[in-house]
Amino acid sequence: MSALRLARLIRRVGRIAEPALPAPLPITLPAPLPADPPTDPPTDGRALPSELPSELRGSVQVRHVDAGSCNGCEIEVGAAFGPVYDAERYGARLVASPRHADAVLVTGVVTRNMAEPLRRTVEATPRPRVVLAVGDCAVDCGLFARGHAVVGPASSVVDVDLEVRGCPPEPEQIVAALRRVTGR
Amino acid sequence: MIAWLSAVAAVTVQLVVMVAAAPLVVGLARQSRAWVEGRAGAGVLQPWRDLRKLLLKEPVQAEGTRLQVAAPVVLLATSLMVCAQVPLVGTVSLPGLPGDLFVVVSVLLVGTVALAVLGLDSGTAFGGMGSSRHMTIAALVEPTVLVAVFAVSIPAGSSALSQIMNERLAAPSTIASPASLMAVVALGIAVLAETGRLPVDNPATHLELTMVHEAMVLESSGRDLAWVELGSWLRLAALVGLVGNLLVPWGQATTASPGALLVGILTLLAKLALSAVVLGAAEVFLAKVRLFRVPELLAGSFALAFLAVTTSYLVT
Ligand code: SF4
């Protein structure tokens, strides 16, 4: 595309980002699918917003770990950081290294091969840090519960501070969870 | 004594302004890029928030690495040194602190090497790869910077940057001369490569295989990362400010009086803000060039700088 056409396209499209919702709202947890009872006891009620580290107010670098997801959640995480939902405006940014990160965002059930890498990624993240489990799979194994390659939900391997339910969760919910950490 | 004190005051003011403004320059560049992309953007203050947070975190260091702490500090020190040497707010230079072009380029190179050593020290594959790419680019950029500013220095008859600025203020016709314009364009390309902007390096990349700057700092965290970030932002701001001042030298303080300094600060901030907005918006239209084509781009800018030197001898 020539630069001129690109410039015209930019002018025509204008701002794509949705208007910002009012500051941090509580996460709405949709009811889990009744069909598939989780193997682990339901894990909820962790991390009230006041327990999240205050050092991370205003700026949260996120390292995303796919521990064995079907890539449905990845699409939604990508959308949350895309131009429409624009999580970056609240100070959250995806980074390439756990050393730069403040939050580890886990999607998918933890498979046997990814249990150790996930544990190491969280260990490599400097404190204070937050671990987010995004999607039903990461929260309670969702669809893949009792699969032969499955170790368990993210909380069976690392300490999880925040959970976002949904299969896959909407980008808005992911953004809302991130906003609870950034407080913006 | 009075002259010395006022020179110290002027250089201190310049340092403080640059440290305060450098993160804002990066923030404004990201913000203007976000506007063009149709995003809302994180706000101009975001780099400052990132810095604050990084300083509050406890760094994680791998066992056996010694330079994870030292190299970022060296980089920051060289960047501060460059900010003190280059005429930005004003052309008042500290007696004893060489503001000579060759010294500035060497100090920049010390910072470049510190960063490359940091990448090697982490002992990871990506770190070493980033360092080798970084040194390749640096080896191509430094001659261009030297030759370009040499071309600019010919009318002034001196390679001290403050004298070049004074000469440009005294004789504005030299600014629009073909030699000077070619040299400034060559310098601009070299500055983009040196500070890791598009089209040479993508500052927002997450793909390790395409990284240059990011690959070297992948293992740094907390305070160490904060110094690396601030150091590279200061470098970017100082070099962009230098190019801005070469193109539009007006407004720089030639004396250390408070009024002149205030005008100098305001015009510097205006120049930096304008460059940041243009830089951010222009990057939307650029793609990163393949690593093996970077030498072609930089060879082009070197040729331009060389032509500038030749014409300034022919057309005088
Ligand atoms: S929660 Fe749903 S979309 Fe996400 S990884 Fe599991 S099955 Fe896929």
Helix-strand-coil split of chain A, %, nearest 5 = 35, 15, 50
Tell me: pLDDT of B295 over 50: yes
| Dihedral sign of CA atoms B89, B91, B94, B97 in order | positive
Indicate the range of A113-122, A132-141, B226-235, B245-254 predicted with least confidence: B245-254
Given B41, B42, B220, which is nearest A99 (Cβ)?
B220
Q: What was the pLDDT predicted at B2?
A: 79
Could you tell me which residue, B313 or B190, shows the higher pLDDT?
B190
Give the pLDDT of residue A24.
Answer: 63
Residue pair B219/B68 in contact (Cβ under 8 Å)? The answer is yes
Q: How many CB atoms lie within 10 A of CB A100?
A: 24
Which residue stretches of chain B are H helix? 2-36, 46-56, 67-85, 101-121, 125-156, 161-170, 178-194, 213-216, 222-247, 258-283, 294-314
The domain over range A56-184 is classified in CATH as 3.40.50.12280: yes
Q: What is the CA radius of gyration of chain A?
A: 17
Report the distance separating Cα B181 and Cα B178, nearest Å. Answer: 5
DSSP state of A156: G
Compute the distance between CA of residue A25 and CA of residue A184 in angstroms, rounded to an integer.
Answer: 10
What was the pLDDT predicted at A131? Answer: 93
Find the mean pLDDT for residues A73-80. Answer: 93
**Which residue puts its alpha carbon closest to atom 2 of ligand 1?**
A167
Across the interface, which of A13, A55, A90 has its CB nearest the CB of B53?
A55
CA atoms lying within 13 Å on the CB side of residue B53 = 27
Per-residue pLDDT, A26: 47
- Separation between Cα atoms, residue A65 and residue A108, nearest integer Å: 9
Q: Is B34 helix (H, G, I), strand (E, B) or coil?
A: helix
Query: A39 or B255: whose pLDDT is higher?
Result: B255
Given a cut of 70, whether residue A45 has pLDDT beyond it is no
- Residue B7 pLDDT grade (very low, low, confident, very high; cuts 50, 70, 90): confident
Residues of B in contact with A15 (CB under 8 A): 35, 38-40
Residue bearing the bigger pLDDT, B183 or A22: B183
Q: Which residues touch B12 (CB under 8 Å, ≥6 apart)?
A: none
The pair of three-digit structure tokens given for residue B179, joined into one six-digit string = 């030699």
Q: What is the CA radius of gyration of chain B?
A: 19
> What is the spatial order of strands in the sheet that A60-66 belongs to?
A92-94, A60-66, A103-107, A130-134, A162-164
pLDDT averaged over chain B? Answer: 88
Mutant choice from B50, B69, B213 vs A, greatest count of A C-beta within 10 A: B50
Lowest mean pLDDT among A33-37, B4-8, B155-159: A33-37
**Interface residue ranges in chain B relative to chain A, Cβ cutoff 8 Å:** 34-43, 46, 49-50, 52-53, 56-60, 205-208, 211, 214, 217-222, 225, 284-285
At A115, the pLDDT band (50, 70, 90 cuts) reads very high
pLDDT of residue B21: 94
3-state secondary structure of B203: coil
What's at B144, amino acid-wise? T
Residue A34 confidence (pLDDT): 46
pLDDT tier at B153 (50, 70, 90 boundaries)? confident
| pLDDT higher than 70, residue A49 | no
- For chain A, what are the domain ranges? 56-184
CB A162 within 8 A of CB A132: yes
**Judging by beta carbons within 10 Å of its beta carbon (0-12, 13-18, 19+), is residue A120 exposed, middle or buried?**
exposed
- Ligand 1 centroid – CA A74 distance (Å): 9
**Helical ranges in chain A per DSSP H:** 3-13, 72-80, 112-123, 136-140, 171-182
* C-alpha separations of B8 from B5, B97, B98, B255 in Å: 5, 10, 14, 12
**pLDDT grade for A106, boundaries at 50, 70 and 90:** very high
- Beta-bridged to residue B69, according to DSSP, are none
How many angstroms separate the CA atoms of A160 and A97, rounded? 19
Residue B150 has pLDDT above 90, yes or no: no
Is the confidence at residue B63, as pLDDT, over 80? Answer: no
Higher pLDDT, B33 or A55: B33
Closest CB to A17: pick one of B40, B221, B225: B40
Pick B316 or B248 by higher pLDDT.
B248
Give tens-digit pLDDT for B156-183: 888 888 888 888 888 888 888 888 889 8
Of A44-48, B108-112, B139-143, the one with minimum mean pLDDT is A44-48
- Of all protein residues, the one whose alpha carbon is nearest to atom 6 of ligand 1 is A137
B129 burial class (0-12, 13-18, 19+ CB within 10 angstroms)?
A: middle
pLDDT of residue B228: 93
A-chain residues within 8 Å CB-CB of B44? none
pLDDT tops 90 at residue B90:
no
- Using a CB-CB distance cutoff of 8 angstroms, which residues of chain A are in contact with residue B59? 126
Grade residue A41 by pLDDT with cuts at 50, 70 and 90. very low
Q: Is the CB of A153 under 6 A from ligand 1?
A: no
pLDDT tens for residues B39-50?
A: 888 889 999 999
Q: B116 near B30, Cβ under 8 Å?
A: no
Q: Provide the whole-model pTM.
A: 0.89
Distances (CA, A) of A92 to A129, B122, B311: 13, 26, 50
- SS3 label, residue A66: strand
A54 contact residues in B (CB cutoff 8 A): none
Locate the chain A residue with the closest alpha carbon to B208. Answer: A96
Band (B316; pLDDT cuts 50, 70, 90)? low
Place of tokens 């690495």: B65
Taking residues B82-102, report their average pLDDT. 83
8 Å CB contact between B206 and A94 = yes
